[in-house]
Structure 1
Amino acid sequence: MFRRIVSIPKPWSSVHSFSTSAVRSSGGLAAILEQVSAKKTPSREDKAASKYANRKPQQAPPARKKKVFVRWATGSEKAREIANAVVSEVLSSRSDGRLRLIVPEENRIQELSMQEVARQLDLEVHSLRFLKNETDAAGRPLPLVKRVPVREAFRLHADRIAAEREKELRNKGVAASRVGAKERRAPDSKQVRISWQISPTDFSNQKSKEIRGHLERGHTVLVLLANKDAPDSAAKLSPRELARRSALLDDLAAILEGVNCSVVRSGDPASRVELKLVPKASQQVDRNALKEQRRLQRAEKLKRRLERHGAASTQE
Structure 2
Amino acid sequence: MFRQIPKFSVIRASCFASRCFYSSKSSNATYIASLLAEYDKTTNRSKKPRLKSRNDPKPSFKGAKAKKPDRHINQTGKERDREALKVVLDEVQSKYKSNNAIVILPTGNLEETQLSKTSLTLNLDEHGLQVVGEKKDSKGRSVPLVKVVDRQTAIKNYSDYLHQQVTRKFSSSFRKAINTSNVANKDPWKVIKVSWNISPQDLASQKCNEIEQMLNKGQNVYILIGSKGVINKSIDNPEDLFNEQHKREVSLDDIEALRRQKIVDTLDSMLETLPTSSIGNDGSISDKIIYKIKAQPKKDDKDEKKRLKELKKQERQEKIRLRTEKKRAESKA
Q: TM class by shorter-chain length?
A: 0.3 to 0.5
Relative contact order, higher structure (CA 8 A, sep 6+)? 2
TM-score (normalised: structure 1)? 0.33
TM-score (normalised: structure 2)? 0.31
